[in-house]
Amino acid sequence: MVLQTRPTGADVTSFLDAVDDNTRRADAHRLRLIVERVTGAPATMWGPAIVGFGTVMLQGRTGESEWMALGFSPRKAAMTLYGIHSENRPDEPLFAQLGPHTTGKGCLYIKRLDDVDEGVLERLISAAWERLHN
């Protein structure tokens, strides 16, 4: 498996500073700090629009590929978080306590950080990090 999205070496702060929407920009900077604090991993740009933290090796049909352990992207519709939710495993019970959110195949979507319980979000990030590193 060869994934197209790779670490780029681009500056994370510059990327986040360029987010058009003021609220989404502030949320992205805040989420970066939360994930860095919870995981201890520095933020790295993956492709042109994803902020990733740490790496894991994924095994596919055609081989292994490096991927970010956790990540997010400040998209127009919602903040998209990667690595916290997967349709391939049971939902974490903490999702019921998070506040307004949606999930997709492998993503958690949050409109505004102020609308969710930040402590629960931190616990979800921590649980995902532990699951990926144990």
Q: Between the CA atoms of 55, 30, 93 and 88, what dihedral angle is there, to the nearest 10 degrees?
A: -30
Q: Tokens for 29, please give them.
A: 């900077």
Residue 5 lies in a domain: no
User: What does the pLDDT read at residue 92?
Assistant: 75
| Residue 6 falls inside a structural domain | no
In which domain, by residue range, is 34 found? 12-133
**Domain contains 7:** no
pLDDT attached to residue 1: 44
Give me the count of residues in the chain.
134
Q: How many C-beta atoms surround the C-beta of residue 108 within 10 A?
A: 26
Question: Is residue 3 in a domain?
Answer: no
Would residue 1 count as lying in a domain?
no
How many domains does one find in the chain?
A: 1
In a domain, 2, yes or no: no
**Cα gap 45→53, rounded to integer Å:** 9
64-110: pLDDT as tens digits: 777 889 999 999 999 999 999 876 666 678 899 999 999 988 899 99
Mean pLDDT value across residues 23-38: 98
Mean pLDDT score, 105-120: 95
Nearest alpha-carbon partner for 128 in 47, 69, 87, 57: 69
Q: What integer pLDDT is reported at residue 5 of this predicted model?
A: 74
Q: Name the percent of the chain lying above pLDDT 70.
A: 91
Q: Confirm whether pTM is higher than 0.75.
A: yes
Q: Would you say residue 132 has pLDDT above 90?
A: no
Q: What is the pLDDT of residue 71?
A: 96
Residue 2 confidence class, pLDDT cut points 50, 70, 90: very low
Confidence band (pLDDT; 50, 70, 90) for 57?
confident
4 part of a folded domain: no
The answer to whether position 56 is within a domain reads yes
* Averaged confidence pLDDT in the chain: 90
Given a contact cutoff of 8 angstroms between Cβ atoms, the answer to whether 103 and 85 are in contact is yes
Give the CATH number of the domain where residue 98 resides.
Answer: 3.90.1150
